[in-house]
Structure 1
Amino acid sequence: MEAKVLIYSSLSLLVLAVAFKVIIHLRTRKPKNLPPSPPSLPILGHLHLVKKPLHRTFHTLSQKYGQIFSLRFGSRLVVIVSSPSAVEECFTKNDLVLANRPPSLVAKHIGYNQTTLVGAPYGDLWRNLRRISALEIFSTTRLNMVLGIRRDEMKRFLHKLGRNSSQYFTKVELKSMFSELTFNIIMGMVAGKRYYGYGEEVKNEEEAKRFKKMMVEIAELGGANPQEFVPILRWIDHGGLEKRLMRLAKKMDAFLQALIDEKKGKEEGNTMIHHLLSLQKSQPDYYTDQIIKALW
């Protein structure tokens, strides 16, 4: 019993010491000339003000603090810009300054330690991934080659809408339908597969179940988690977020690698994976499997 009391007491003192250190660090490191900001709480900053839907929260704050104001999400500084002219300036004159995304647990594990096109910091890797995507994936020629996939999915979507309201007016939940349409178009272009639908529309039900489950997990774990903004919660892995992300990352990597391996040495195709694997044959050191997964 005495040993347990000693352990708990030590942990409590450690937590208090870390919290005190974080507070001092934030107060002494406060940048100059920040936009106006609401009163904040120690450690949490303005996290207590964040309520869904976010755009309404930000709109309410902008009416009081102006079109450019700052918030602190735990240890991270966030600047909210709602002025169209200021936003344009951010993405033109100051685009390089604002090009990088802050590191996160999601980018670390799901994003291959920030080496994907979406999460990579501005630099040689990002420029290389962008060049490949612009020339080999999103060029007019490549997009026209998979035009049939997009047309087919739109026909299925409209047919489903028509079937639901063939007799009478009916209420339709479009959010999930648009989500399924988007995923089917993406995966059709990437791997020539459909994962949402019924009966013969989905060839491999088991694979489709795994994919849909992973997408749900990514949506659940990839949101604004307190652990990303409060260091002490991240250090103790509050809620087991990092462990869950590590497990999900292994499943995602195995899934993507299986798609790549399936296309190797098989029939010709117009999908993104087929095309990148054809380039891999002539430049294996450049178009690696990891590069293909980073472009997904």
Structure 2
Amino acid sequence: MEVLYLYLPVVLLAFYVITQHFLRKLRNLPPRPFPTLPLIGHLYLLKKPFHQALAKVSYRHGPVVFLWFGSHPVLLVASPSTAEECFTKNDIAFANRPTLISGKYFGYNYTSLAWSPYGDHWRNLRRISSLEVLSSHRLQMLSHIRLEEVRTLIGRLFQVSTETPERAVGMKLALFELTFNIMTRMIFGKIYYGENVENSEEAKRFQDLIMATSRSISESQVLDFLPFMRWFGFGGTEEKLRVIHENRD
């Protein structure tokens, strides 16, 4: 009996591997790295920097690779011609978005443009956005906002380089603030980043909400890909998302 218990995990693992192999053959799926681990799939292959890890997988297994990121199937496409085919000939098959937990709260139960599933509602939102936000007339009308914010950024970088030439400047943060200031000026008519914000208290609250949103999305992705982590202390993540969603509103 003790020997049976000793070999049981090995037998179960072998059965799992064989079953997965035959299922892949039946479904005619692209090649995938071996092994596909239970629960986590191919997440063990991901290391920083993320894009280089995916490039290594593609180099070893081909331009089209089927992966499991936990409970989510992922298609890795590293061929320009195949990517073009995905976005033209087979664009409908790839038009949907994964139903991540963050979309339930920040996307108003998957009804906003960024989170809505492909269909009539999404096409209507895209039409409104194209006409009211991204049309040539609208972009030209708001071009002065982009011009002013870019000039402000260049002036700030020039000032830093003049006063402290040895100081390194984090361009990632600078471009993040530039992007948000352009968006908020287009939407609200005011900026929330930089030294000369009109209402520093309101700006601070906005910045805190943006940071809290970013952190909560990162935390919720653990549950998106590894649902069993609810049993290991991640059960309160959805409550955090709900509170942040209310504060955003």
Residue 149 in structure 1 maps to residue 145 in structure 2 = yes
**Identity of aligned pairs, percent?**
43
TM-score norm. by structure 1 comes to: 0.72
Q: Which amino acid aligns with 2:182?
A: I
- Who is 1:118 aligned against? 114
TM-score norm. by structure 2 comes to: 0.85
Q: CA separation in 2, counterparts of 1:226 and 1:37?
A: 22
1:199-249: CA deviations, max 9, x gaps? xx2111111111111111222222372210123235777252211111111
Contact 1:227 1:237 in 2 (8 A): no
1:95-128: CA deviations, max 9, x gaps? 1110001101010111111111111111111011
Q: CA separation in 1, counterparts of 2:208 and 2:164?
A: 33
Q: How does 1:2-13 map to 2 (within 5 A)?
A: none
Q: CA separation in 1, counterparts of 2:209 and 2:78?
A: 34
Contact 1:184 1:194 in 2 (8 A): yes
Q: How far 1:169 moved relative to its partner?
A: 3.5
Residue 183 in structure 1 maps to residue 176 in structure 2 = no
Q: Which amino acid aligns with 1:249?
A: H
Residue 214 in structure 1 maps to residue 209 in structure 2 = yes
- Who is 1:293 aligned against? none
Q: How does 1:75-224 map to 2 (within 5 A)?
A: 75-167=71-163, 169-170=165-166, 171-198=168-195, 201-223=196-218
Residue 44 in structure 1 maps to residue 36 in structure 2 = no
Quote the RMSD (CA, aligned, Å): 2.3
Contact 1:43 1:75 in 2 (8 A): yes
Q: CA separation in 1, counterparts of 2:209 and 2:57?
A: 35
Q: CA separation in 1, counterparts of 2:123 and 2:232?
A: 36
Q: CA separation in 2, counterparts of 1:143 and 1:45?
A: 44
Ranges of 4+ aligned residues in structure 1 off by more than 3 Å: 26-31, 167-170, 234-237
Q: Could you list the runs of 5+ residues in structure 1 that have no partner in the other structure?
A: 1-22, 254-296
1:135-168: CA deviations, max 9, x gaps? 1111111112211211111111111011011256
Contact 1:228 1:234 in 2 (8 A): no
